[in-house]
Structure 1
Amino acid sequence: MPTLGMNLTLLIGTTTPRPAPTLLSELVDSLEVTYRDQGRSGFQIVFRVGRAEPADAQDDPLLRGATEQLLQPFNRVIVTLSLNSQPRVLMDGIVTYHEFAPSLEPGESIFTITGEDVGVMMDLEEKSVEHLELDDKSIVEKILNSYTKYGLTPKLSTPQWTDRPLKTDRVPVQLSTDLDYIQELANRHGFVFYIKPGPSTGSNEAYWGPPNRKASPGKPLTFNMGSFTNLESINFQYDALAVMKVQGEVQDRKTNQTQSVSVSSSRRSPLSAEPALTTQIYTRTAQFRQTARLATQATAYAQAMVDQSVDAAITATGELDTLTYGDFLQHGGTVDLRGVGQTYDGRYYINEVTHQIQQGAYKQRFRMTREGSGSTIARVTV
């Protein structure tokens, strides 16, 4: 599916996909891929089909024979894209849903496949599993190592609080799918968990750690600056109720002493000059209600609650044309923004990117966040 100086390559099959037949590739009408740093990432491919030959009387050629087998649910789909001769794995996912919309007009029927990133294979079976004498990071690594056939390479961070309990003390128990449990452990520490395709075909990076707000920024976004403008639209939302402090008490499970828990600042790397948590007149206060924790453990978990609350005090959403921008936005990374004014210019963390590709057009929609207004940088690198 070539379009505007770009070239898409479609691979499809079982565990190890192969290049799609020419017939299948030529029928691709549009492609949408959404990647998020939390929650589910997914894709949708639309094929424009129709019966044109006498042999098609029984069924559409896409829905029978070898081609039909390739589109079966739980087959794996990999899409690579070359922009300016630089190849990149755009998507690596699993088919989970079909939709067929026949038309009375020849060649105007629509067949759509929808799917999720390879993490969906971690969400198929609810389990009851004991993780003896393992801390949270080791549990995540253990789970991910059982999905190596999907090319998962763990990239894991060490939490602020690490607890490797003896089996005579307590046993961590998983009562959910592998994906849900990994996400539960991520939330406990103020982490995110997502799967990023690439860098090579068939490989995926499984990231479990804090939002990477220290990542080197990608190509800057520019608005209302004449020929330098590469944004088609952008919008900002300030949520004064997002940020919160945490207070409470915990009875230390080893000493039985009741100790106070109080966290009023964030440990996130600052992206704004005026963080909402410290500059707002009022902020919400949440009660720490967990029990059976060590005092230091309780403070670490309360810190995670505060850190997560500040992540989206300001949210920016927008759209750009990929050829005008000349690059890809990377979810889980950072980008600098200029041209909208001192309040909202500066560096942001990218939470979500949606790629929309069809013949003659390639757009990227995005959502990015930070903890407050005002820029921490005086200039951007172009």
Structure 2
Amino acid sequence: MIKGIDLSLMFGPGIPFAAPRGVIDALQSVKVEENAGETPSGFELGFALEKNSPLNTLFLLAGGAALPILRVALIATISGRAETLINGVVTKTDLTPGSGSNPATLTVTGKDLCATMEYFDFSGLPYPAMPPFARVNLVLAKYAWLGVIPQVIPSLEGPPLPTDKIPRHKDNDLDYIRTLAHEAGYTFFFKPGPAPATSVAYWGPDIRIGKVQSALTMESGVPTNAEELSFTFNKDGLAIPIVFIQNALTKAPIPVPIPGAIPFQPPIGAIPPLPPRIERLKNTANLNPFEALQRGFAFAARNMDAVEGRGRIDVLRYGQIVHARSLIGVRGAGAAFDGTHYVDSVSHDLSRGSYKQSFTLKRSGLLPTQSSVPA
């Protein structure tokens, strides 16, 4: 158990700076949504607005057209270790007038830096002889001034010959990068850090390996650190994907079923269920065999989780901050659900003297693959 958490707020046009004392004193509540997959992370800040508060100026700046990008960064310091909760931009402000002795309330909401990639449409921009990962790097280079650090994993697709086709940009930058990620079986998201005003833009496979966070413990007396924890098992959404590879000589499509074992997602459930249906993937026969198999593995990765968990913790009791897109241990939930799980989403809820987190977990099967998890 820890005694407390220090929260730092930075904001400003283009480059965020430390908020003045008056703004920090007016901050009443903080909510941060941290999601995996294509759902962007977001935040909501609640301020008590006095008549002479500098937040009046902040409200005018956020609502005016002179500053289209107002940056916000939130940093939580726990046990001497600073962790960036969100690095984003303001998208909406709401002002609720006060009544009687109650001050007015200013609510500032926003998203991570993916919101800045939706402003302009660059459709038609050519990318001659550039494979998908090179195009992604070129697109992300425009956002280096916002502290964006690209982390791009090359896909199996090679560079197209300019005599055959020249790829062209479609829609805004965010939609185009997500389209390239979907075609490659990849995911794209922003991860705040490592510095407060920076974010890592990850384009690559959804990897479920790495360090396991300390275990969530239920019904175990003194070691119990989770306030709520429940699990469900549902295999109705699972499917065995089948891709079609065209024979170069006969032009006949050859069906290839994709196994449940994903190379970059080792199983974290010992007994996966048998999928109840078969899904035939369309538009794979016109791809080369490597690209077709890549589409199949990507579909299997998105539709392999039969176990879903939901819970809530007090960070002050748990001792650290739970992050999405990572692994975490579970104890005391029963033999079927104990072991390692993947954290799919996390909701941070902070107020003075309180830091709660709600989260969702998922994994492919029942029973743990390891005999123990980190305490």
1:14-33 matches, within 5 Å, as 14-33=13-32
> Is 1:374 aligned to 2:364, yes or no?
no
1:152 to 125, 132, 148: 148
Letter of the 1:271 partner, please give it.
I
Q: Deviations over 1:157-214 (max 9, x none)?
A: 233x322111112222331221112222222233221111111121111122222211
2:236 and 2:228 mapped to 1: Cα distance?
Answer: 26
1:64 and 1:142 mapped to 2: Cα distance?
Answer: 39
Q: Shift in Å at residue 289 of structure 1?
A: 1.3
In percent, how many aligned pairs have the same letter? 26
1:295 and 1:211 mapped to 2: Cα distance?
Answer: 21
Q: Deviations over 1:109-156 (max 9, x none)?
A: 211000000121112223213322122222222211221011111222
Q: Shift in Å at residue 274 of structure 1?
A: 0.8
The equivalent of 1:269 in structure 2 is: 266
The equivalent of 1:346 in structure 2 is: 339
1:78-117 matches, within 5 Å, as 78-117=73-112
1:1-382 matches, within 5 Å, as 5-38=4-37, 39-51=39-51, 61-62=53-54, 64-65=56-57, 68-69=60-61, 74-128=69-123, 129-159=125-155, 161-247=156-242, 249-251=244-246, 257-266=251-260, 267=262, 268-276=265-273, 280=274, 283-290=276-283, 292-310=286-304, 312-382=305-375
Letter of the 1:292 partner, please give it.
N
Q: 1:331 and 1:187, CA in 2 relative to 1: closer, same or farther beyond 3 A?
A: same
Q: Shift in Å at residue 275 of structure 1?
A: 1.4
2:106 and 2:358 mapped to 1: Cα distance?
Answer: 24
Q: Secondary structure at the match of 1:175?
A: coil
Q: 1:194 and 1:373, CA in 2 relative to 1: closer, same or farther beyond 3 A?
A: same
Q: Deviations over 1:71-111 (max 9, x none)?
A: 76630011111111221222211000011121313233211
Q: Shift in Å at residue 343 of structure 1?
A: 0.5
1:275 and 1:205 mapped to 2: Cα distance?
Answer: 33
1:203 and 1:255 mapped to 2: Cα distance?
Answer: 52
Q: Give TM-score, length-normalised by structure 1.
A: 0.89
Q: Shift in Å at residue 67 of structure 1?
A: 6.7
Letter of the 2:121 partner, please give it.
E
Q: Shift in Å at residue 333 of structure 1?
A: 1.2
Letter of the 1:107 partner, please give it.
N
Unpaired stretches in structure 1, ≥5 consecutive residues: none
Q: 1:42 and 1:65, CA in 2 relative to 1: closer, same or farther beyond 3 A?
A: closer
Q: For this pair of structures, how many residues does the alignment match? A: 365
1:343 and 1:65 mapped to 2: Cα distance?
Answer: 55
Letter of the 2:146 partner, please give it.
Y
Q: 1:206 and 1:255, CA in 2 relative to 1: closer, same or farther beyond 3 A?
A: farther
1:256 and 1:172 mapped to 2: Cα distance?
Answer: 29
Q: Secondary structure at the match of 2:214?
A: coil
Q: Secondary structure at the match of 1:272?
A: coil
Q: Secondary structure at the match of 1:173?
A: coil
1:64 and 1:207 mapped to 2: Cα distance?
Answer: 36
Q: Shift in Å at residue 4 of structure 1?
A: 5.8
